[in-house]
Every structure is written in C-alpha cells, then in structure tokens.
Structure 1
Amino acid sequence: MNWRMPSETAPHERTWMAFPREGFTLGDTTAEREEGYATWSAVAAAVARFEPVTMVVDPTEVERAKRMLPGEVTLLEAPVDEFWMRDHGPTFVVDDARPRVLGAVDWIFNGWGAPDWAQWQDSAAHAGLIAAHVGAELVSSVLVNEGGGIHVDGEGTVLLTETVQLDPRRNPFADRARVEAEMARTLGTTKAVWLSRGLTRDYDEMGTNGHVDIVATISSPGRIVLHDQRDPAHPDHAVTAQLRAELAAHTDAAGRTFEIVDLPAPATLTDAHGPVDWSYVNHLVVNGGVIACGFGEERADATARAILADAYPGREVVTVDARGLFARGGGIHCITQQQPAVAP
C-alpha cells in the first residue's frame, strides 16, 4: 500500500471527537466538570457549521451529550476514558492509487507516556472502532505516537519533536531512523523535520512532553505558522526563538526553505499553576473555515484571526474560547480529528 496523510486543508468527510466523561481529566468540582462539557460542546457546534461531526460518547454520558450537542452532531456510543480524539483516535490516510480507499493508522496509545494519572485503555480502542465504522482499512503500527505529535503538508513533509517520538516512556528503543521509516510507511512522508522540544507547560504532569501541534503547523507547503511568545518574562520566549532557528535551518520534502509566519501568543503569561501554554497554533482547519482558539483577550484573539485568515485564504475564521481545554492540557486541535474525503 502507498498510504499518504493529506494536509488538513484537503477536503474533509467529517470531523471526529469524543465527549468528556467524569474522571481526573474533566475535574473534581461541579463547576470544573460543567466547564469541560460546555467547552467540548462549543467546539463541536462550531465545527458542525462547516462539516459533519461524529462524537464518540461513553454510555454514561449519552443523555448529557444529547442535551448539550446540536442535533446535527452524530453520536456513536462506545466506552470512553480519555477524550482527546486527535491523540488516541485514528490518523486517517489515503492511497492515491486507490482513490476510493480510506486508511486509518492505529498508533499505540499509552496515555502520553503512561503517567500514573492517565486512563487510556478504552479510548485506545477507538482507532479500530472508528475504522470499522467508516469502512477504512486499519493500518497497524508498533510506534507509540499521538496525532498531536505530528503535522504534515500532504506532500511528503512531517513535523516531529524529539521529546515525543523518542520519549523513552513511549518508544524506549526508537531512534530517528526507525521513527522516520514508520512515518514513511504509514503517512507516506519522505522528509522528517525534527524540532528539539515543545512549549514549557507541556512538560508538566498533565502535558504531552512536547506535542508539535501546539507550537507549529504547516499551513501550506513551504509555509509554517509558528507560536511566537514575545514577552521575555515567559520561558517560551527563548523556546520559540530556538524553534524558529531550527526551522530556518530545515527544508521541506521538496527542498524549499520554510517561510515562517509568527503567530503571537496572548498577553496572559501565567495561571495558578505557572506559565501558560496558550497558543493560537492549536487550531483546526475545516471545510471552508478555521476553528481558532480564543483566550478572552479581544485584541490578541482578533490579531490571531487576521493572521489565520491570511494563512488560509478563503476560509472563515471562527473563535471558540479554549481556556477550558488548555486548563486540561490541550486545545481545539487536540480534541478533533479530520477524516479526509475520498472518491465516492
């Protein structure tokens, strides 16, 4: 098979999500839980304006999901523990020689390195469940990986971070060559662009240890949108400068040097737990639109919308308050997974 992961900007059949359920990630208090339910539901409603949404829902949460989600969101009942669909769900691929065939890469998911607090066994089965539901060919992988740990341009380039794919808690025997070979087999990539790390907060207890989808994305071949922390008081000021230098030294699969588009971080620097990782890079591209993270900062949110509108011409940029997601360790891109359209 010659599998290829299309760019996120390619046409979608639908977006997949998982509805929250009670547990450590959702929160301990009623207010925390309600914030989580409301934020996931708001993202689903925003995406559903542009394309179909299917939500995997735990049996214990079906009635709540029916009450909170728009009627056009389709529900698929199955056990759920974690609900970050980008990471535990399938990564969809296509085969250009078989245009009607959809593939679904089933990475090994171990809760971002098997931390003590994580529960992932139920959601780790979602890739197989969803593949069967949509009639996709399951592409099994022995690599521990998450969808938030990769970004592709659809033309052979993949962004990776050393602290994710080479994490000894994930892949203790992996090296760059093994990872790159698996990316080539499952995603059809020919050039891996390795970044040294992710954002500072992402290395906390509930972090992913450096997912690329919160710091950089390929908006079009040869063009990277990069998180830009401009305040020297924030530790990511130095991190993003380092990443910019690393990207400037790379070329993509076609041999192009990258045009780097800076996407400024919000003004807020800290919360009760330390430096925040609020990032507008963690957006979702949908059919005709972009679902952007908002942080309650009118000026910064508007600046991000303008930059994203330029990066994705012809798409409507819609902001959804993502603070309830980032408080739990991720953003809009992290809770969604696009299913590319294939020939009928």
Structure 2
Amino acid sequence: MGILVSLPKSGDENDFQIDWSNPFGAQVEMRAPFLPSEWHEQSGIQLTWPHAGTDWAHMLKEVQECFTAIAREIAKSELLFIVAPDIEAVKTQISSRVNMENVRFFECETNDTWARDHGAITMIDGTTPRLLDFCFNGWGQKFASGLDNQITRKAYEAKCFNADYDNRLDFVLEGGSIESDGLGTLLTTSTCLLAPNRNDKMNRVEIEEYLRSVFHIQQVLWLDHGYLAGDDTDSHVDTLARLCPNNTIAYVKCTDPDDEHFEELQKMEEQLLTFRTLKGEPYRLLPLPMADCIKDNTERLPATYANFLITNKTVLYPTYNQPKNDAKAAEVLAEAFPGKEIAGIDCRALIKQHGSLHCVTMQYPVGVIK
C-alpha cells in the first residue's frame, strides 16, 4: 500500500516535508526556512506579566488571577517563559499553583502585557530557529511601547533562546495580525496592515511583497471586512478568523441582525468563502459563536472566541461566563482540533483592556526556549 501526498501547485517538491508526528495525521510543511503554524510542535509559550506599572494597576489582582490560570494550564505540559520586572513577586503569586519545573523567567522592564504583539515571530531555518524581531509601536502609536519593543533583543542577548536573531525593527508587525498554516499561506487583515502609523510609506502590494520575501510564503489572504467594537489593534486577524489544521478556518459568525457587527462579519464570511488553498480548494469554514455584548460602563468590550491559544496538547480558549456560547465555542474547537483537549479560561478580566487569551501569549517552536 502506498501513500499519496498532494503538494501545493506552486513550489518544488524539495520545498516541502512530511511531519508524521503531527497529532492531526501526516502534515505537509514547508522546508526551511518557513513560518510554522501555531500547531507546530512547541518548546513553550511566553507571558509578559502584569504589574503595577501597567494599565492593569486598577485591577491588578483580578488580572493576575487570570494570568495565573493561563500559566497553570501551559506549564502542565510545556515550558512557560515569563517576562517581568520583578521575578520574585511573580514567583510568590504562582508557585503554589503552577508547575514551577516548567517555568523559565526573564527579568526585564515592561510597558504592558501583550506578548503576542511584542514577542518574536519564529522562523524554522535549518537546524537553528530564527527570531524575527519586528517593531512594536503600540498598534500605531496608540500606547507606550518603548520598553516592550526591547524585550526580544534583551532576552536573546541574555541567552534565553536557542535561536539566531534577525533585526526587523524597520518594519512594524504584530504577531496577532498574521496567521500561518505552515504550508506557505498567510492570513491577515487589510485594516490592520494598512492602518496609519505602522508602515505608511508602503502600499498593499509592497507590504505583500515584503511578507512573501521575509516569510517565504506563496500567498497572502487579505480579509477586508470584520471588526470588533473596543478593539485597539485595527482588527487583528486573531480576533476574527484563525487558520486551523486540514485547510480549516475557524471564524466569528454573528447571527443577530441587531448587533452592530452583523453586516461586517457577514461580509467577512462571504469573503472567506472565496478564499482558496494553494491547491485551489475552498477552506472548510467552522463558525464560532459571537459573544453576547459585554460592557464596561458604556463601552462595549471586544469579547471573541477566535482568540484561542494552541499548545502541544491543549487548545486553551477564552470564556466569558456565557454558558451557551462558551460550550458552543468548545464544540467548534474540538472539531477543528481533533485529538486535542479543549480547556476554557475565564478571560473577562483581559477584555477590560481590550484583548484576550491569544493576545497575551506567544508560542515558540520546539527547541527555542532553553
């Protein structure tokens, strides 16, 4: 009996490899250098810890409880890399509840906690991974980011990583703004990558050419619709639609015509239906529920089930004390990630600062975190 593996139409057979260890079956991934998918085997995940000098100061205990819950789940099965200006304070908070054997610390001054956007984006490049350090400027200079923008370089210089360093600080790019399938396709949103105060001197064609060159990808799928009220990121793709194994996209679907998001998310769904894989096939689309409206005073908060985190054994997803929606989101993610555990973490604290679970984490491929 033989096995037939279909490769994307573009690209030579030497550009691809089969990963038999993948829990979703034999997966074809690009040969080095390539941008791995989030479900590629990981060495661990970064959290940048909230402290009194961040915007969390007025609700510090509440948000640290949420971070501790995230830390506990991650450290059950892989390394956790915690960045904080006061390591001993963090140890006091988590030591009784987290598997400390799997925790690594790096002491560093920080502005905030959004590791997805100030953390390194890792390329698989031969035997040594490569950390791409892009500029983080507070989502278009909305917030202070000078300290956070130095974390990756300082951690590399402190020898926290088994990886090479690639200075890309001349280009603004946040991890939450892109999704990779590990096969040469990148998913992003035009409203973010073309937003003011990021890379204003470049147009859409020039930005796509840059992404193709740096990440060695073959196509960029641009979402032109979709947003969440209260979002500071200019519509990061990880709040709206996520690439999943086996040519699947999990996306937020709004079914309430009276919801302010209904029209835009309907247009997003229509565009997702037009997207094709490199083989020219449509994606399998799995709709995630739209979270019921949550407000902080009069402001609607950007609660989304698309902001889930993929770990080696588990998909961690945000919950919002909405039993019906929380349960439905878990069902959808179980379908998208067969064989993985699905675990919910109450992230109502995180959305008070306009982010969620995926936003405060950054994964690193196998071998990177020491």
TM surpasses 0.5: yes
Could you list the per-position Cα deviations for residues 223-263 of structure 1 after superposition, in whole angstroms to 9, with x for gaps in the alignment? 10001122222211112111111111222333222221100
Aligned residue among 168, 172, 179 for 1:151: 179
Q: Are 2:203 and 1:175 aligned? A: yes
SS of the equivalent of 1:55 reads strand
1:120-131 alignment to 2 at 5 Å? 120-131=145-156
Q: Are 2:241 and 1:213 aligned? A: no
SS of the equivalent of 2:243 reads strand
1:1-344 alignment to 2 at 5 Å? 3-23=33-53, 25-27=55-57, 29=58, 32-59=59-86, 62-69=87-94, 70=98, 71-72=100-101, 73-95=103-125, 98=126, 100-115=127-142, 118-132=143-157, 133-141=160-168, 142-203=170-231, 207-268=232-293, 270-342=295-367
Q: Distance in 1 between matches of 2:148 and 2:295?
A: 31
State the shift of 1:169 in Å: 1.2
The code of the aligned residue for 2:197 comes to R
The code of the aligned residue for 1:55 comes to I
Q: State, as a whole percentage, how many aligned pairs show the same letter.
A: 26
Most deviating of 293-302 and 269-278 = 269-278
State the shift of 1:193 in Å: 0.6
The code of the aligned residue for 1:134 comes to F
8 Å CA contact 1:103–1:138 kept in 2: the answer is yes
The code of the aligned residue for 2:78 comes to E
Could you list the per-position Cα deviations for residues 200-219 of structure 1 after superposition, in whole angstroms to 9, with x for gaps in the alignment? 3245xxx1111000100011
Most deviating of 149-158 and 299-308 = 299-308
State the shift of 1:340 in Å: 0.7
SS of the equivalent of 1:119 reads coil
Q: Give the 3 Å change call, closer, same or farther, for CA 234–272 of structure 1 in structure 2.
A: farther
CA RMSD in angstroms, aligned pairs only: 2.0
The structure whose Rg is larger is 2
State the shift of 1:148 in Å: 0.3
Could you list the per-position Cα deviations for residues 262-300 of structure 1 after superposition, in whole angstroms to 9, with x for gaps in the alignment? 001223354423333211110000011111101011222
Could you list the per-position Cα deviations for residues 178-197 of structure 1 after superposition, in whole angstroms to 9, with x for gaps in the alignment? 22222223322111011114
State the shift of 1:83 in Å: 1.3
SS of the equivalent of 1:182 reads helix
Q: Distance in 1 between matches of 2:258 and 2:301?
A: 12
Runs of 5+ consecutive residues of structure 2 not aligned to the other structure: 1-30
Runs of 5+ consecutive residues of structure 1 not aligned to the other structure: none
8 Å CA contact 1:234–1:275 kept in 2: the answer is no
8 Å CA contact 1:250–1:257 kept in 2: the answer is yes
Runs of 4+ aligned structure 1 residues displaced above 6 Å come to none
SS of the equivalent of 1:127 reads helix
State the shift of 1:170 in Å: 0.7
TM-score between both structures, scaled by the size of structure 1: 0.91
